[in-house]
Each structure stands twice: as structure tokens, then as C-alpha cells.
Structure 1
Amino acid sequence: MLGLPDEAAACLFDLDGVLTRTAAVHAAAWKEMFDGYLRERAERSGEPFTEFDVVKDYGRYVDGKKREDGTRSFLESRGVELPEGAPDDPPERETIRGLGNRKNALVLKFIEEKGVETFDGSIDYVRAAREAGLKTAVVSSSANTVQVLRTVGITDLFDARVDGVIAAERRLPGKPAPDMFLEGARELGVPAERAVVFEDAIAGVQAGRAGGFAYVVGVNRVDGAHAAALAEHADIVVSDLSELLEVK
């Protein structure tokens, strides 16, 4: 019915790109923030400006990661080193945290202007999992998880939540480290070997594999190359979770 191993007792779902159509919102915010910063930097230094590639750079450096980790990872790829800064750095401050907060302000602006949509087939899958008696948790690097869940009205579909806010409070390393998913399993009272990870980001499926989970489901919303990259770490790759309902 659910296309999962018999020992599965819990499902750990990423949010952006798996359940909600917010991955595109995040990608657009990253691009606007990075392009703006790199353009400012090029004008100051005389260096050539090379824009943020919303497909290659997003998937390789920032997708699925905590905000500060994604900011740092991409800048390092361009040979840019900035001070870490503080979590409450203002968006105009030239630090890792400041730029991350600039990106987050853009995400909130885009969500307010355009709203949030869900992947209906994936929401149906979550409901089916709960009806089958499995516990469910949302595990997302986003610090805006609570707002998004409330906006789309699916808060009650999850028994636990581990997001960017909780990760910061508990000092959990972000994906591709498995700690956030392991924390989600602990919150549900289920061992990793009986929990299933659902992820659309490469860093996310890497985390699922590293954590020793029963099964890792990759969700490909991009293209064939992304599907192949997910398949390196996932047990199965689908375009939507509804496909699993058809697995006998």
C-alpha cells in the first residue's frame, strides 16, 4: 500500500520540495540575494560578475542545508571568505549570517506575496501513512517551517517537527549530517532502522543514508541528472510520493 519495507514504523518528511512547492521560492530567494551581493562585490573590486545558477548552484551548494551552511558553501565555491557574524546580524551586514538573513527576508516576502502550494499527491501519502498507523514527522532545514505548515493547513498531520529553529536550539548539525533526521526519529520514539526518510535534496538523501534508516526515498522535482544524483544515496526515486501508493 505505502511501498515501504514491512519494518517501517515512522516517516520523516522534508518539507520544501517534498510536501510544499516552496523549493522554487527558496531557489528564487537565494538567486536574488547572491546575485545582488556578488554584483555589489564586483562593482567594488572590479572582479567579473558571475550570476548564481538557480539549477546547478542551488542543487550543489544550498538545497536542503541550513541557511548559514548553504551561504558558506556557495561563497566558498566562488573563493569568497566572510566572517561568520551573529545570528541576529541585519540583512545588510556583510557576514555569513547577515547574507543568510537577507535571503530569509526575501523568502518571507515571496511567501507573503505569492502564498504557498502543496504537492497534493504527497499530502495524500502522508494521510495514508497515518491511516496505516505510521508516525510522521517533518524534518526541514528551514527556519520558516511553522509558518509554512500553518499557511497550508497541514500542521496536524505531524506528530513531531525538527526544523532550522530547533536545530539551532539543540545545536544539531545540518544536512548532509544525519542528526536532524535522527532527532526526528527520537521525537517519535522510533529507532532509525524502523524509520523512512523522504527527501528531494541531495544533502537530504545523503543524511538519510548516513543515519542508517530503514529506507530512503528520493523525490525528483528537477530533471534526469538530479534523479541520478538522488539515486546514488536513495533506495528509490519517485517524482511524487503518490507513486508509492501504487507500489504493490
Structure 2
Amino acid sequence: MLGLSDDIRAFLFDLDGVLTQTAKVHAAAWKSTFDAFLRSESDRTGEQFVPFDPVVDYDTHVDGRPRLDGTRAFLRSRGFDLPEGTDADPPGARTVHGISSAKNDTVLAMIREQGVLPYDGSVAYVRRLRALGLPAAVVSSSANCRDVLRAAGIEELFDVVVDGIVAKREGLPGKPAPDTYLAAARALGVEPVHAAVFEDALAGVASGRAGGFGAVVGVDRTGQADELRRDGATVVVTDLAELIPGEEGA
């Protein structure tokens, strides 16, 4: 059914890079934030400034992860051990929370200025699911998930949203742990083996594999098909329209 086994009865979608064209916005926001931090550290210590790579560093350290986890992972990769700080830290403070807050402010400003575009193939795929009476959920580490869905005009297509707000409230660890996807499957009343995960992030496909889902669809937007398969994708496409019977490229 729709490119997957007939055993699949529920469909769980990541947001950024799968449903909406916001992964590039997040990568740009991370780059702006981390580059500002790295420049200040270079000025402070005299060490060479090595900028954040919006492809390699983004894919390896931050894509698909909760914001604080992404900040910690990138800082560790550069040898920084900053204080955690708290939610009260001002944006840009030299703490994990301060840097994370600066990134969030930057991405929200970019979204307000640029708007949010959904991927047409993904919207067509979800609309086909709904026409067939099949349930769908969005699973995102973003605390801004519902705002993005509304801005893209697709919020009404989903029965369940498990986002960063839900994860924090329920104490769910973020991707690559499977807990947020498992929570979405439970909310839809479906066992993981009968649900499909749709992800563009390496951390996301790893969470689908760890959760024992019946299918893990890797959406290759950036030429990392081999890496998606390595980390857990059972199917890899460049656009979800490829899974729609009769569509071009299917």
C-alpha cells in the first residue's frame, strides 16, 4: 500500500526535511549561531576560527536531535565543555542553554521572514493516506512544530503531534532514541511493527530502527542515501511522490 507492505497501518512523519522545507533554514540558523560563538572563542583564545559546516556538521551532530542535544554534540566535537546553564540564560550566553536559545531565536526570525513551504510530494502522499482512512502523526524534536505545521497549512492532516513540548512534558528522550516515535504509535493505537517512520535525518532513521518499526523510509534530500540505509532505513526515496502508485517516478 502506497509503496509499503500492506501490514503498515499507521504513518509517522518527521517534520523538517520530510514534510516541510525547513531543514535548510535550521542548518542556516545553526551555522549563524555556532559561527558567532566560534568567532568569539577565536577572538578570546587566539585559536583558528573553523566555521560550522552546514552539511557535514549539521548532518552529523544536530539534524533530528533536540536542540540542547544538538548543541552539546557539536560543542563536544570541537572540544568545548560549557556549563549547561538554564532556560533563563539570555540568548548567546556562553552556556549550552544560551547558545540553544540564540539558535531558536534565529530560526524563528528566519521562518517569519521567509515563511514555510511544504514538500508537494509529501503533502500528496499524506492526503492519499487520509483519503484511504489511514492515521498519520508528526514526530519532531522541535518545540515550534505546531507553528510550522500551521504556517505550512498542513496541521489538519495529522491525528497526533509528538513534538519537543510533548517530549519534555512526558520525559521522552529525543532521537536517536525511539521513544518519541513509540509514543506516537501508542497514541494511534498501533504496534510499532505495523507503523512506518519517515525520516531525512540519520538520528531519525536510527530511532526508527531502534523502535522495531515495520518500515523506516529514508528521505534523501541531500545525497546521503547510503548513510540513511546504514543507520536504519529500509526504503530510501528522494521524494515521497515516488511511493504513490501512478505518480511520476513511482
Normalising by structure 2, we get a TM-score of 0.96
Residue 227 (1) aligns with residue 225 (2): yes
CA separation of 1:88 and 1:191: change in aligned 2, threshold 3 A: farther
Which moved further from structure 2: 40-49 or 199-208?
Answer: 40-49
Matched position secondary structure for 2:217: strand
Match of residue 25 from structure 1: 25
Where structure 1 has 5 or more consecutive residues not aligned to the other structure, the ranges are none
Match of residue 235 from structure 2: 236
Give per-residue Cα distances to partners, 1:155-188, cap 9 Å, x unaligned: 1100000011111111111100000100111111
Where structure 2 has 5 or more consecutive residues not aligned to the other structure, the ranges are none
Structure 1 distance, partners of 2:43, 2:89, is 23
Question: What is the letter of the counterpart of residue 78 of structure 2?
Answer: R
Give per-residue Cα distances to partners, 1:15-46, cap 9 Å, x unaligned: 00001000000000000000000000110111
Match of residue 245 from structure 1: 244
Identical aligned pairs, as a percentage?
57
Match of residue 64 from structure 2: 64
Shift of 1:133: 2.1
Match of residue 79 from structure 1: 79
Question: What is the letter of the counterpart of residue 112 of structure 1?
Answer: R
Residue 153 (1) aligns with residue 183 (2): no
Shift of 1:114: 0.7
Match of residue 176 from structure 2: 176
Structure 1 distance, partners of 2:100, 2:61, is 13
Matched position secondary structure for 1:70: helix
Give per-residue Cα distances to partners, 1:115-151, cap 9 Å, x unaligned: 1111011100011112222110000111110110111
Shift of 1:7: 1.1
Structure 1 distance, partners of 2:33, 2:197, is 30
Question: What is the letter of the counterpart of residue 187 of structure 1?
Answer: A
Structure 2 distance, partners of 1:36, 1:20, is 27
Shift of 1:89: 2.3
Between the two proteins, the alignment pairs up a number of residues equal to 246
Question: What is the letter of the counterpart of residue 245 of structure 1?
Answer: I
Match of residue 13 from structure 2: 13
Match of residue 129 from structure 1: 129
Shift of 1:92: 2.6
Question: What is the letter of the counterpart of residue 32 of structure 1?
Answer: S
Question: What is the letter of the counterpart of residue 228 of structure 1?
Answer: D
Shift of 1:217: 0.1
Q: Which runs of 4+ in 1 moved over 3 A?
A: none
Normalising by structure 1, we get a TM-score of 0.97
Structure 2 distance, partners of 1:221, 1:98, is 30
